[in-house]
Amino acid sequence: MNTIINLKVNTFTAIITLFFILALFNYNLSAQNNSCPASSEQIIIPIENDSIVAWAMLARGKAKKETVILLHGLPGNERNLDVAQELRRNGKNVIYFNYRGAWGSQGEFMYANCIEDVKKIIDFFSTSKNSDKYRIKLDSFILFGHSMGGGVALISGAKDNRVKKIAVYSPWNAGGTKFTTQQINGFKAMLKPLFMLNIEPKRFLEDIVKNSEQYSIINYKNQLKNKQVLIFDENERNKHWIENIENVEYILMKTDHSFSDKRLELIHKVSKWVNK
């Protein structure tokens, strides 16, 4: 009988002790988060002789965190800030920026520049000073891109060992596109009125045609197989090259190019995948 009573007392004591430990842990965590709340900050980042505009959405807490870099399309009307807010709520820093020559960022809008800009952004946040200031966990970057930004994410992420995960939707495989003369003329006509871009349509397209091998995503399949890759699409136009890349999770969703009526589902799936 005494053994049973002692066992109950010991069990009760252990439960109470565990309760206080958890309460103390939660108190310390809460105190840390309150002393370092979530915040947002505009950052001007120099690239060569130009400066680009970035928007840092920093998650709460003093610890350094995985950081997601958003890559918009052409011209970049869809910014994916709804995705960004959810990722920040789940403890990830998020960096949104405009490529050189886009939406007020200085320089010329070129596909080559877009790819280089991603590297320069990662370089900027990887310095000791900026890693500490913005609470960036080194070598733990995640790229999230849409349309043209999806292709840029896959190419730049494949080439950079600091990028561990790449998620994209409706990616444009620029180098895998075989342009007819009619398509080139149509593309030029589409680009011409885009005043938010400092772009010379002829130079932009010549760069893509001339460097098609360099801009073809399938040519990076050996590097991409060593990354965690998630690709969403609204149709199967990209399926032929996606199936030739190992280690890719491919999700097809019936919607438009911006996933306009599937935003909540997109946010949920991306957040769940990023946090795996």
Please give the pLDDT value at position 6: 54
Please give the pLDDT value at position 12: 58
Domain assignments of the chain as residue spans, ordered by start: 1-35, 39-274
**Residue-wise pLDDT tens digits, 127-151:** 999 999 999 999 999 999 999 999 9
In 3D space, the residue among 92, 84, 43 whose CA is nearest the CA of residue 65 turns out to be 92
**Gyration radius from the chain CA atoms:** 23
Q: How far is CA 235 from CA 172, 225, 229, 253, in A?
A: 12, 23, 18, 7
CATH architecture of 39-274: 3-Layer(aba) Sandwich (3.40)
Q: How far apart are the first and last CA of the chain?
A: 49
Query: Exposed, middle or buried: residue 4 (CB in 10 Å: 0-12, 13-18, 19+)?
Result: exposed
Residue found by looking up tokens 């990830």 in the block: 92
Length of the chain measured in residues:
276
Please give the pLDDT value at position 2: 52
Reported pTM: 0.87
**Residue-wise pLDDT tens digits, 151-209:** 999 999 999 999 999 999 999 999 998 889 999 999 999 999 999 999 999 999 999 99
Q: Percentage of the chain surpassing pLDDT 90?
A: 85
Please give the pLDDT value at position 35: 80
Please give the pLDDT value at position 116: 98
pLDDT band for 29, please (50, 70, 90 cuts).
very low
Determine the residue type at 111.
Y
* Range in 1-15, 86-100, 144-158 the model is least confident about: 1-15
